[in-house]
Amino acid sequence: MSERFPTLASLLAPHPLQHFLDHHWEREPLHVKGDPRAPRAGLVSLDAVDALLTGRANRHPDVTLVNARDPVEADDYSDEQGLVDPVAVAKLYAAGATIIVNNLDQLVPGVRATLSRLEAELGVHAQANLYLTPGGAQGFACHFDSHDVVLVQLVGQKQWRLYDSPKGLPMRGERFDPAATKPGERTADLRLEPGDALYIPRGLMHDADAVDGGPSMHVTVGLHAFRWSEVLLEALAARAIADPELRTGLPLGALAPGADPDALRDAMRARVDRALDGLQWDLVRDRMRGQFEREHKEHLAGLLSDAVAPISAETVFARRPGASVEVAADGDAVVLTVNGRSTRWPGAVAPMLRDAVTREGGFRLADLGDDLDDKGKRTMVKRLLGEAALAVVR
């Protein structure tokens, strides 16, 4: 399984990935002790975050401040256009506010590359947010999230308290209501240090304090997986489009007093049975896959250089990290889809094309076999570089 999901495995190493999938995913939290020298601990540095906050124009809500003990308003650190004042941010931070950099993957190439690979491997959308909290402070009161998260502690220490899951597995976008949802008994008390990771399944109540003695900084990777409920609703919608019987209206008077509930119940069950008989996974999969590919984060570093790079017999190529690639036959042709962009190719190149975009590790033109001569191979590879399916290994 680590071979199939290597990026997730690296975020949770050394914990066995299969054990995580079998026992923790959507079920139980997992605290993984790490090493501050581990790759995940180097996602972004404190100096780089300081430069992001002070060396460029930022806007709310890309940069947001929160304080569980002394609420902060956006007007306290941003103007009417949402432009963030870094001096005001620094003062509020010194007074106990947590700085949140939302969509960190849009700002830091290394984080973008990690999330691009993660999305392509898992087939789910991922988002990275950064939290910088002064020692002894608390950003959020106890709450749950409507998506699963993997936290990576980068700087300092943070004390996490975990409770129960009163909502089970929340629906996508289900907002936490503190008045309606109270935490139960505390189930875990964990201290995260640099290099540690913490998985929190969606719906699990939690809160945390930065440990006194210095700032705490961590990155949260949110995993927004499709739910089976969404698949079933999409499948039912597709079936209704294809079957006029499922689009007929309720009998007149069905909602009026005196309507026969047994007859209406039987009619509904008959239509449910009819719908179930026609549900098609392939159709739903194609629609949801298309939605994923349209929103997938591409990591395109080096694309412009690849577009004009000279190609020789010694040039090494590899599948572009994070590229979501599919090859499908279409009559006498073959369709290559890269991150939602589809192009048609002659069917004769299908074996070589598939080999180039699915091969693990680097390769040279000579490794692609003899179906095409050197000129044909160069033409194919050059086109694959332009489609962002391949990259030149430098």
**pLDDT band with cut points at 50, 70 and 90 for residue 175:** confident
Contact, 88 vs 77, CB < 8 A? Answer: yes
Say whether pLDDT at 306 is over 60: yes
- pLDDT above 60: residue 1: no
Task: Tell me the domain boundaries of the chain.
Answer: 6-224, 228-283, 303-392
* 115 φ, ψ (degrees, to nearest 5): -70, -35
CA 291, CA 326: separation in Å to the nearest integer?
Answer: 15
State which amino acid sits at residue 203. G
Strands, E, within the chain: which ranges? 30-32, 63-66, 98-101, 125-133, 148-155, 158-162, 188-192, 197-200, 206-210, 216-224, 317-319, 325-330, 333-338, 341-346, 390-392
For residues 279 and 241, is the Cβ–Cβ distance under 8 A? no
Distance CA 126, CA 119 (A): 6
Amino acid at 70: D
**Residue found under tokens 């692609």:** 368
Decide if pLDDT at 328 tops 60: yes
Could you please report the per-residue DSSP string of 341-380? EEEEEEGGGHHHHHHHHH-SS-B-GGGG-SSS-HHHHHHH
Q: Is there a contact between 253 and 259 (Cβ–Cβ < 8 Å)?
A: yes
Amino acid 305 reads S
What is the pLDDT of the chain when averaged over all its residues? 95
Strand partners, 264: none
CA gyration radius for the chain?
A: 25
Using alpha carbons, list the distances in angstroms from residue 361 to 185, 319, 321, 357, 367.
49, 8, 11, 10, 12
pLDDT classification of 192: cutoffs 50, 70, 90? very high
Answer yes or no: is pLDDT of 326 > 60: yes
pLDDT tens for residues 76-134? 999 999 999 999 999 999 999 999 999 999 999 999 999 999 999 999 999 999 999 99
pLDDT value for 2: 60
pLDDT in tens, 62-88: 999 999 999 999 999 999 999 999 999
Q: What is the C-alpha to C-alpha distance for residues 146 and 172, in angstroms, rounded to an integer? A: 6
Tell the CATH topology of 6-224: Jelly Rolls (2.60.120)
CATH 2.40.50 fits 303-392, yes or no: no
- 32-50 pLDDT, tens per residue? 999 888 899 999 999 999 9
Indicate if 303-392 has the same CATH topology as 6-224.
Answer: no
Write the pLDDT tens digit of every residue in 242-260. Answer: 999 999 999 999 999 999 9
Distance CA 204, CA 163 (A): 7
Q: CB of 111 within 8 A of CB of 202?
A: no
